Amino acid sequence: MFSVVSNPEFLREGEAIRDFIYPDRVVVGSNEEKSKKILRNLYSPLISKGAKYVSTNRRAAELIKYASNAFLATKITFINEIANLCEKTGIDVEEISIGIGLDNRIGSRFLRAGPAYGGSCFPKDTKAIVSTADKFKSNLSVIKSVIKSNQNRTDLLLKRLHSIIKKFNNKNVSFLGVTFKANTDDMRDSSSLKLIPYLSKKGAKIKYYDPTGSKKEFNNLKNVEFANSIQNCISGSDLIIIHTEWNDFKSINFKKLSKNKKLIIYDMRNLFSPTKIKKLGIKYFGIGR
């Protein structure tokens, strides 16, 4: 018996083929020497290209996977909490991310402030490692705090939305992207699953556009409809929420697509320069800015 974790950033959604061919590392967990030899031979083409290879027992391999994802989830949650502080102190979190990310001991990846983490791996694996630790009566207080902070993240974003627009009744709200991240159609634990129903209940008229198409999760919500293009989504909007960091959204000319002189943009991914957007006469709000 054996288990394999290839590149425990785990064949990322939207990057699976590349991650398999060019893994950061290959972790093989087995309790049988014969299996370990077979797997090393199997992965030898990747090893010869420079992939790091780790051979360990099954339990250690499993814990490597859980601990890796828990650590990355911690980095995301950490920078989100720093972003909260930046909003209070008038500091741009992008500058903080660059400043601490240049430290080789920390690294810049997963230091992008935004909505709560979602998807299939981080929520599941953080809970799994905590559950395992509880079973063995070991307190993983840091990871428990990460889970709690992430669960509260969407509520904080909703409070920020209410500070931007006091009442949403009959307001036209556009969502650009609804998946938990770009380059995937995965809706699991996406912040949009809380944001859109909440705004719908508050009387907002919501259009959303996502390159992966309409989502069944929103089919039965009042005043929520899928737009088949960015232009149709933005047209007539009072508030544009950039929820997912799709490349399609990075070069939008908001001034050209929207004639609303009181247009507001809430950029949850910090894709745009606040200075440039404000020069267009558009109210702009970002994360940690």
- For the chain, the structural domain boundaries read 2-56, 62-152, 156-286
- Average pLDDT across each block of 10 residues of the chain; the chain has 289 residues. List them in order: 46 70 86 92 90 92 95 98 97 98 96 96 96 98 98 97 95 98 96 98 98 97 97 96 97 90 96 94 96
Half-sphere exposure of 83 (CA within 13 A, CB side): 28
Task: Look at residue 11 in the predicted model and tell me its pLDDT.
Answer: 58
Task: Look at residue 116 in the predicted model and tell me its pLDDT.
Answer: 98
Domain 156-286 adopts which CATH fold? Rossmann fold (3.40.50)
Residue with tokens 């939207």: 14
Task: Look at residue 76 in the predicted model and tell me its pLDDT.
Answer: 98
Same fold: 62-152 with 156-286: no
Q: Where does residue 90 fall: left (phi above 0), alpha (psi -120 to 50 degrees), or beta otherwise? A: left
Rounded Cα gap, residues 266 and 249, in angstroms = 13
Scanning 182-229, the segments in alpha helix (DSSP H) are 192-201
Task: Look at residue 12 in the predicted model and tell me its pLDDT.
Answer: 64
Asked if residue 54 lies in contact with residue 123, where contact means CB atoms within 8 angstroms, the answer is no
Q: What are phi and psi of 28, to 5 degrees?
A: -115, 125
| Architecture category of domain 62-152 in CATH | Orthogonal Bundle (1.10)
Which residues have a catalytic role annotated? 121
In degrees to the nearest 10, what's the CA dihedral of 212, 213, 218, 220?
Answer: -150
Rg (CA), the chain: 21
Task: Look at residue 22 in the predicted model and tell me its pLDDT.
Answer: 80
Q: In the chain, count of helices (H) and strands (E)?
A: 11, 9
Asked if residue 26 lies in contact with residue 51, where contact means CB atoms within 8 angstroms, the answer is yes
Task: Look at residue 269 in the predicted model and tell me its pLDDT.
Answer: 98
Tokens of 249: 């959204």
